[in-house]
Structure 1
Amino acid sequence: MLILGGTAEARELAGELVARGVRVVSSLAGRVARPRLPEGEVRVGGFGGVDGLARWLAEHDTGAVVDATHPFAERIGANAAEATRRAGVPLLRLARPGWQPEPGDVWHWVDDLGDAAARLPALGRRVFLTSGRQGLAAFAGLDALWFLIRCVDPPGPPLPRAHEILLDRGPYTVDSERSLLRDHRIEVLVTKDSGGTHTDAKLRAARELGLPVVVVRRPPRPEAETVGTVGEAVEWVLNR
């Protein structure tokens, strides 16, 4: 079976299935220089669009596909839905639940990074930007603001004029996130609704410090059978 991966859930799912004797191929997009590799077979890089993925599924006699990509990986999600339909291969979407505000949170929901950038001047001048290295051009024109930009790999231009790059990857702790916010005198946090517990410590730290958070909503995905946990995905695969 094929796992479209790159997430912690995808790695966990691959490990669970390999332990049960399932032949698994995990596909990684190749956007991270040093990805954490799952158990089982691994391929890196694109398939060549819908046609290429449909052809790969047929050539490898694939029994099922689990799309366990990041909630914001729109293109591969759409390609997977169409390619599996053409190839007649069952598709499951493994989507970690999105974040929900709790008492004390000051969240501002937006539809995309452009909307997030437009909100910032009214919320604070020192920004902790944790939306990844894609799409940073949306913030490049905000010369009056200062940005702490955290991502796994170095981002390319254009970037905000006043910024500091922090190369790091989770999971993080509330204590470390609280210290980071305080040390850099952060006034507002920007994040995508990635969901899960891998990077949610920043939200709890912001809540404790009373900081506003700009949260980018998840993009719509094609309709597909969907589960929220690795255990449910394992059961689905084993019952195919």
Structure 2
Amino acid sequence: MNLNVLLLGGTDEARRLAAALYGRPDLRVVSSLAGRVRDPKLPVGEVHEGGFGGAEGLAAWIRDHGVDVVVDATHPFAARMSASAVQATRAAGVPLLVLRRPGWRERDGDDWHWVPSLEAAAQALPALGSRAFLTTGRRSLPVFAALDGVWFLARSVDPPEPPVPANVEIVLSRGPFTVEGEIALMREHDVDVLVTKDSGGQMTTAKLDAARELRIPVVIVRRPPAHEGTPHVDTVEAAAHWIDALRSAGSR
């Protein structure tokens, strides 16, 4: 049985899964990118760029293109896209697999302060430091724009759009980063608190190691809850095995 796979991507895991499945005669894989980054890293194979128009638009795209299975390998904080994937696959009657990298875990020497949202991070920040390294993405800056008395070093891939904090320095950069580089950056700007999201993975863990080394507190936003009833895996290998099992079951 041949399978048409729609891979909702934009992450390193999605690119690696596309590469693992590329060139197989029994699979057609189309990777979808939301188009939020100006110069994204493209996966191998077919690519669909741009949105679908919500859950209804995604369901229509699935039907129109004969998609047999959808893999949601988007960012752990892409809650809207993940919700649309659940609704669309149910409406279209096709299976959905969620591929999510494991979240981060505290280690000895960490001073982590878990919060449920970006808004809660902004509320907690003034009590922990006055020079914040903000690594929550360019779209999060408006949440911190009204904070007085806090200076920000904000890092993103693309320039943010206003509103942004009055006292902010923007660093445009894309990971992976090194611990030595992160320590040097934090020392150069006298950072005394780090703000991040529990994105997981290895590409951006260096900032957490640097904060531990410098004894800097970390405000960390918890992930959105997973959708119940949807199968989840946390490795590219497990996702590929799941797809193989589905294809094999359909060929019997």
TM-score by length of 1: 0.98
Please say if 1:7 is aligned against 2:26: no
**Secondary structure, aligned partner of 1:56:** helix
Alignment deviations for residues 70-129 of structure 1 (CA, whole Å, 9 cap, x no partner): 000011100101111111111000000000110100000001111111111111111000
Matches within 5 A, 1:89-238: 89-223=94-228, 224-238=230-244
Once residues 119 and 56 of structure 2 are traced to their aligned partners in structure 1, the CA distance between those partners, rounded to angstroms, is 32
1:226, distance to aligned residue in structure 2 (A): 0.2
Q: Is the contact made by 1:74 and 1:221 (CA closer than 8 Å) also made in structure 2?
A: no
Once residues 143 and 184 of structure 1 are traced to their aligned partners in structure 2, the CA distance between those partners, rounded to angstroms, is 18
Q: Is the contact made by 1:78 and 1:221 (CA closer than 8 Å) also made in structure 2?
A: no
1:19, distance to aligned residue in structure 2 (A): 4.0
Once residues 51 and 114 of structure 1 are traced to their aligned partners in structure 2, the CA distance between those partners, rounded to angstroms, is 30
Once residues 19 and 138 of structure 2 are traced to their aligned partners in structure 1, the CA distance between those partners, rounded to angstroms, is 28
Please say if 1:24 is aligned against 2:25: no
Once residues 169 and 24 of structure 2 are traced to their aligned partners in structure 1, the CA distance between those partners, rounded to angstroms, is 45
TM-score by length of 2: 0.93
Once residues 10 and 97 of structure 2 are traced to their aligned partners in structure 1, the CA distance between those partners, rounded to angstroms, is 16
Q: Which amino acid aligns with 2:19?
A: G
**Secondary structure, aligned partner of 1:134:** helix
1:137, distance to aligned residue in structure 2 (A): 1.2
Identity value in percent: 60
Once residues 23 and 169 of structure 2 are traced to their aligned partners in structure 1, the CA distance between those partners, rounded to angstroms, is 42
Q: Which moved more, 1:20-29 or 1:206-215?
A: 20-29
Q: Which amino acid aligns with 1:181?
A: M
1:238, distance to aligned residue in structure 2 (A): 1.5
Once residues 95 and 101 of structure 1 are traced to their aligned partners in structure 2, the CA distance between those partners, rounded to angstroms, is 19
Residue number in structure 1 paired with 2:38: 33
Alignment deviations for residues 144-169 of structure 1 (CA, whole Å, 9 cap, x no partner): 11100000000011111111000001
**Secondary structure, aligned partner of 2:28:** coil
Unaligned runs of 5+ in 1: none
* Cα-Cα RMSD: 0.9
Stretches (4+) displaced over 4 A: none
Unaligned runs of 5+ in 2: 247-252
1:221, distance to aligned residue in structure 2 (A): 3.1
Please say if 1:47 is aligned against 2:43: no
Q: Which amino acid aligns with 2:206?
A: A
